Each structure stands twice: as structure tokens, then as C-alpha cells.
A and B are shown apart, each in its own frame.
Chain A
Amino acid sequence: MIRFALAGNPNCGKTTLFNTLTGSTAHVGNWPGVTVDKREGTYKKLDEKVEIVDLPGIYSLSPYTPEEVVSRNFILDEKPDCVINVVDATNLERNLYLTTQILEIDVPVVVALNMMDALEASGDKIIIDDLQKQLGVPVIGISALKKQGTDELMKRAYDAAKHSRSGSTVLENSSVSGIISKVKDALPADLESKLFHAVKLIEGDELEIKAHPEANEIAMKLKAEQPDDGFEGDYEAVVADRRYDYISRKFRSVVIKANKKGVTKSDKIDKVMTHRIWAIPIFLVIMFAVFHIVFSEDLFFMNAMGLNIANNPTAVNFFTGMGYEGLLEEAMANGEELSLGIPSLGVFLQSWMGFLTDGLGELFLSFMPEGTWYTSLVVDGIIGGVGAVASFIPQILLLFLFISIMEDSGYMARVAFIMDRAFRKFGLSGKAFIPMLMGFGCSVPAMMAARTLEDEKERDRTIRLATCFSCGAKAPIWAMLATVIAAIGSSLGFLSSIFVFLIYILGIAIAIVFALIMKLFGKNNEVPPFIMELPAYHAPQFKNLMAHLWEKLKHYVIKAATIIAASTVVLWFLSNFGWAFWQGLVDIEDSIIADIGVVLKYFFYPLGWTMGEDGWMYAVATVTGLIAKEDVVSTCEILGVSGSTLSIAGIFAFAAYNLFTLPCMAAVATAKSESTKKGFWVTLAWWFVSSYIVSFIIYWVLHCYEIAWWIGLILTAAIIAAIVISALYLARRIKRANSQATA
């Protein structure tokens, strides 16, 4: 099997091309760092199978970032049969900078001019024949998204792979061409890609200097003999200047620009969405709107306006999954009138999914004998536990649909930009926000994306903070508690969406506070530079959105059928049998889990939410949630609690502990493999201790509001003041460090 590598700048469509060629559904994102490692797939439409390797996006082959090292090592050491250099046709000049470096390697190269559809739509044109002549390698115009030209590209790459190719450089007739040929001669005769190594030695590339110290000495001597051409001996800058000079001279003529005004539609939208003052409020409004559509029990704020649908049983049954009878009984038992608004789409879907899982339990009960251990295992344990998690799947998918829309449209990239602008002055890097934003999906890829950070400590810090960004597995917990909050607010169903919104905002706010604390006690005041392209806004691709949702659904189903099902069986056993388990079923109060729970209850006692009679059940749910966060909901279902016995302070503190503590076993394994050894143990300790402290503070501050509002207010003001003073002190320290560095 032959092997082709896809190499190109970030966000030029490599992964989209990879998916098109291999039929994969790898995650495509329009921000850097989505592909942090190489990924492999197979193309089967040629005479022989072709292995396609998707490399991370890079701007050069110099070893500045981990992605550049991965890509460079792969091309040089693994020797693919052909490199397909994916170039964004709408941004030709900048993309060709990397092309000029790839061409220096002794490997067949084919240039895939991607996004030709977008180029044509903009009215611009590229004369492909001229570009091909200038580069000396085949150039094929494609649209990876629309699958145009991809088969032709593979045919040309297949033909190119049959012939060996020697490297060529655009620096041939420049002021450094003489040194290049001399350094090339000084390199070992059997070395491949001598031209590439020679150019990199002249640039002062660290990896090349280590590998070829003798040739480096000659290069240093030759460079010292050269007259200064305005760069004060910085040959990395000299080479880059020569490359850009060549690109602008030779390639500008191949692009025919349509006569357009300078301001694009995206620029106009960005004037509002990334506005200095309005950007963050707009982000908050968008987030609230998403949570309202997914979690609100009263989509149109009907109850707040004194309207409701409770007197229409058919409507109630339709919107709540045949729940009229149950709701009516519940309201009567509480001595209240049934008051309901039209629920959001997410709650509507969740209600019907709950109806289906309950129905499944009733179906099994109809033919299994009541009171036996195996009926209890199947109905209460497996169907009850897994069903409780499964009932939230449609709601979680809806949430991810909105997150995917934000990502695919280009808005999520703006969020990173907005965050960077707001927090850079406090020493927080925007580059670290990108992995954290990925944490809204799952903590595991978020931690892996931290690889893009060059600084080891920054990477450890980012991994530590990834848990603050609520992942999909935690969403069922919020959904469960949101229902309770809506019930506490009696006739104000929309409080459920406000609760979820507050939890997400709390996560982001605490992440910033945590980052400030780490920075305050850290020695490094430097903020690494953050360069990021903002992709043009576009309508999200239906296929992309569906691929994201399909992956999420698959992930959920696999997890429900394996880890969650296993946990529910173990928990069912522990909650239905005593230490003398051979004696048969016992009441939950006499079960093994009740004994364990009592110990756990007192461990969490200072946090408030285990103070009640059933407090041990929340303690057990929290501990099982350390395996997988969905287990919190399944455990609550098996033990028969839903948060309704907690006070508002208890609900928020319980949510906070589960948000900030160790996310799941998969995340722990990832943190271990991605962190330094010391960093990993600090991270584990950080998750346990910080979540305990935050939960403690939240409970007692909110509890003070319940006792006397003014005590709560004083406490809140004191905490905010401490944070503001620390932030200001840090900002001053960073400013001073920067001015010293400049001096």
C-alpha cells in the first residue's frame, strides 16, 4: 500500500479533504488545534489502496510548535510516497510560504488548490497553468467540501508518486543561493533532502544544528562572511524575506482579483460580534438563548405572564410525554395548582424519551414476576439506570447541534478572540482558551488540544482547567437539577434555563479565577503570543452538523451500553443487598451502599448538600460520577433521589462540586499521558481540592442569603473584591515585567 500525506496551513481544509477521500468522519473545526496529531485513513478508488495521513495544520517546517515537529518528522522520516500540499485558494500568497519549504524536500509533491468554489464565488480567479509552471509540480483545483476535483487530484498524486523528485528552492537566484550550495556540499553524501537541511541550517534551525554540527560550523562561517543586508545577521529573517519576495513577485500575477470594495460581509458582522464593548454581552445572550431552547420548561415565559396550558390535558400530554396524570397528582399532593407553560424543544424531546424508557420498564414488569431479584435488576437497575441517562440523549444532542452551529459558522473562533482580548492583560493566553472551549464537547480532546501549547507549565495549567468547561456528560446532571429548580420556582418554568446558563457561566468564571490563582503563585509572567485566523462566517454545513451529532450519539450509546450499564449493575447490587448478600434483597437503608454512603456523607458534610437524611445518596452519586459523569444521574435514579430534597444553596453547591472535580476516568488517563509526571499529580490534587473549596464557598454564601440577605451580600462583595484586587495586582506585575523586557 502506498502512502500520501496531507500537509498545509491550519484551516485550509485538510481534514475535510481527508474525510472526503477516506469516508471518515473526523472532527472538522475552523480553529487551529483541531488536528493535533496525524490521522490515518484509506482511499480505495485507485488501482491500489492508498493510505492517507492527515497532518496537523502548520505555517512552516521550522520546529516552533509541536504540530510543526510532528508534520516535519513525518515527511522527512516516514517518507510518504507523495505529499499533497493543501493550499487555501482564497489566501494563496500566505499559503505558498509553506509550499516553498515542502518543495525543498526530496519527495513527490502535488498541490491541491482547495476552496476553489469559494474563490469563484468571490469573483477572483487563479491561472492554474501558470501556477503549475512556476512551482514545477502538478496543481489541481478542488473543493473538498463539495467533493469536486478530488478524484483527479488522487490520480495526479498517484502518477507523481511513481517518479522520484529532487527538492527545488525558490531561493535559487537570491543572495543566499551561494551559501546554500556550499552548505549542501558539506552535508553527508548519503543524506536525503540535502537542500532542505542546508536551508534549515542557514536559518539556524535547532534540530538541524544538533543533527549536523560540522555543516553548521561551515554555515556559520559563510554567514559571517556575507555582507549585512539589513537583517543584522538574522538569517531566519533573511530566508523568510527572500521567500516572500519571490512569492509576491512571481505569484501575484496568477491571481486575478475581482474589483471589490475592501469590506466583506464577515467584516461587517465582526464589527458587531467582536465589538470592544458588546462582544461579551452578545456572547452571553447567545449562550442563554441556546440553554433556553434546550433546557427551559417554559419557552415563551407564559407562566411569568400568568398564562398556562395546565387546563388542557391533551396539550400537557403532548408536551410532557403523557405526563398529565402524574403532574396533576404531584401538584395536588403539594397543595398547589398545576401550572405549566409550553416547554422548550429540549425538554419536549426529553419528556418523550423518558416516556419511552418508562414504557420499556413497564413492558418488562408485565411479564416478569414482581419482587424477585432479577426483575429488580432488569427494571430498576439496568432499565432504570441506563434509561435515566438515555432519556437525556435527545436534549444533549440538541445542545451539541447548537454548539456545532456556533463552531461551524465561525462564531466559536470569535469567542476565543474575544476571550483573548479580555484576559490577556491578566496574563491569560488566548491560545489556552481554545483547548478549554473544546471542553464544552468533551474534556478528553480538550486536554489533547493542549498539546498545541509550547510551554510545559501552560499545558499542565490548561489541562487542569479543562474540567471547568462543562462537557456533554455533565449536561444530564444540569438537566436533572434544572427540573428541580423549575419546580422550586413553582410557576416560573424558565428558571431551569437560567440555572443551566448560570452553571456554564460559573464554569468559565471559575476557570478565570483558577487561572489567576495559578498565575499569581507562578513565576512566569510572560503571555505567549496568540495568532489566529478568523474564518469567514458561513452557513453551517448540514453534513458537518450531522457528522458531529452522529459521533456524539454513537459515543453516548457506546458509553451507555458499557461503562454506565456496568456501573448501574454494580450499584444495583450494592443498593439491594446487605453485607450478607446471600440472604437476599434488603431495604436500601440496610444495603452495602448505605453503609459506604454514611462515611462519604460525612466527608462531604461541610459542603452542605449531604446534610439531609438522604444526603448519603448524593455523596454516593458524586463518587460514582468520578467513573463517568452520567453515572451521577443513573445513581440518583437507582437510589431514588433527583435533587428535589436539596435547598437552592445545596443544588448549586452539588452542581459546582460535580463540575469542578475529576471529570471521569477517561479524562484522568488522558491527563496522565498529556501532562508532566509532577503536573499530573498536581492536577489530580487540584481537581479534588478546588472543587471542594468552591462547593464549600458556594453553599455557605448562598446559605447566608437564605438566612439574611445582607450577610450573603457582604460575603459576595468580599469575594469579588479579593478577586478584583488579585487581578489588578497581577495585571500590574505583568505590565511591569513587560516594560522591563522591552527596556
Chain B
Amino acid sequence: MTWYEILIAIGAVAIVALPIVLHFVRKKKGKSSCSCGCDCASCDKCRYNNSSEKQH
């Protein structure tokens, strides 16, 4: 394997790992990990804060 083949292989593994890592980072930060984007009414902090207030 040449050095650039190793580099591309590492890059591919990083691409696969990225969403999994991001999921846990966001979860740890207390942010929503739903990936629905910021146009959602319950994005980020508000969703986290609400977890203790769920009515059902």
C-alpha cells in the first residue's frame, strides 16, 4: 500500500465515523441529536431542557 492509499483509507474510515462521533458529541453537549436541522421548533437547547418537563 502506498502512502496515499493509506491516507484515502483513513479518510474513508473518518467519513464513516464522523456522524457517529458527532452524534455522541452533540448528545454530551446536551443538544438534540435528531439531525433535523435548525428549522425545527425543538432544536438544540430547548429540546434538552424540556426532557425533564415532558407531560407524558
By a beta-carbon cutoff of 8 Å, the part of chain A in contact with chain B is: 25-27, 34-40, 66, 69-70, 73, 373-374, 377-378, 382, 441-442, 444-445, 448-449, 451, 456, 459, 548, 551-552, 554-555, 558-559, 562-563, 565-566, 569-570, 573, 666, 669-670, 673, 676
Contacts and interface: CB of A to CB of B under 8 A. Distances in A.
B15 A382 contact: yes
Contacts of B16: 566, 569-570
Contacts of A569: 12, 15-16
Given A39-B46, A40-B46, A555-B36, A566 B41 contact: no
Given A69-B55, A445-B42, A555-B37, 15 more contacts: A37-B49, A38-B46, A38-B49, A39-B45, A73-B53, A442-B37, A444-B34, A548-B39, A551-B38, A552-B37, A555-B39, A562-B22, A570-B16, A670-B34, A673-B51
A676 B56 contact: yes
B36 to A, nearest CB: 3
Which of B4, B18, B35, B40 has the most chain A CB atoms closer than 10 A to its own CB?
B40
A717 B56 CA distance: 42
B33 A669 contact: yes
Contacts of B38: 25-26, 551, 554-555
A36 B15 contact: no
B47 interface: yes
A-B interface, 8 closest residue pairs, ranked by CB to CB distance from nearest: A555-B37, A444-B36, A551-B39, A445-B40, A562-B19, A374-B8, A448-B42, A666-B34
B49 A552 contact: no
Which of A25, A34, A69, A566 has the most chain B CB atoms closer than 10 A to its own CB?
A566
Contacts of B18: 562, 565-566
B35 A559 contact: yes
A552 B39 contact: yes
Interface of B: 4-5, 8-9, 12, 15-20, 22, 33-43, 45-47, 49-51, 53, 55-56
A377 B13 CA distance: 12
A35 B38 CA distance: 13
A35 B37 contact: no
B12 to A, nearest CB: 5
B37 A36 contact: no
Contacts of A552: 37, 39
Nearest to B22: A562
Nearest to B50: A37
Contacts of B56: 456, 459, 676
Contacts of A448: 40-42
B2 to A, nearest CB: 9
B15 A445 contact: no
Interface SS of chain A: helix
B39 A27 contact: yes
Given A444-B40, A456-B56, A562-B18, A37 B35 contact: no
A239 to B, nearest CB: 24
Given A38-B46, A448-B42, A449-B41, A442 B36 contact: yes
B41 A441 contact: no
Nearest to A63: B55
Contacts of A378: 8
Which of B18, B34, B51 has the most chain A CB atoms closer than 10 A to its own CB?
B34
A40 B46 CA distance: 7
Contacts of B17: 566
A456 B12 CA distance: 44
B50 to A, nearest CB: 5
A103 B47 CA distance: 28
25 contacts: A25-B38, A38-B49, A38-B50, A39-B43, A40-B45, A70-B50, A374-B4, A441-B39, A442-B37, A444-B34, A444-B36, A444-B40, A445-B40, A445-B42, A448-B41, A448-B42, A551-B37, A559-B35, A562-B18, A562-B19, A562-B22, A566-B20, A569-B12, A573-B12, A666-B36
A552 B37 CA distance: 8
Contacts of B12: 377, 569, 573
B50 A554 contact: no
B47 A37 contact: yes
A554 B40 CA distance: 13
B55 A445 contact: no
B15 to A, nearest CB: 5
Nearest to B5: A374
Given A66-B55, A666-B35, A676-B56, A39 B8 contact: no
B18 to A, nearest CB: 6
A166 to B, nearest CB: 27
Contacts of A563: 19, 35
A37 B46 contact: yes
Nearest to B37: A555
Nearest to B42: A448
A444 B47 CA distance: 12
A26 to B, nearest CB: 8
A566 B35 CA distance: 14
Given A555-B36, A562-B19, A670-B36, A36 B42 contact: yes
A66 B53 CA distance: 10
A194 to B, nearest CB: 24
B42 to A, nearest CB: 5
Contacts of B15: 382, 565-566, 569
A569 B10 CA distance: 12
B33 A558 contact: no
A539 to B, nearest CB: 21
Nearest to A386: B15
Which of B39, B42, B45 has the most chain A CB atoms closer than 10 A to its own CB?
B39
Contacts of B55: 66, 69, 451
B16 to A, nearest CB: 5
Contacts of B36: 442, 444-445, 555, 666, 670
A369 B34 CA distance: 39
A477 to B, nearest CB: 18
Contacts of B22: 562
A628 to B, nearest CB: 8
A306 to B, nearest CB: 44
A377 B42 contact: no
A118 B33 CA distance: 39
Contacts of B43: 39
A371 to B, nearest CB: 14
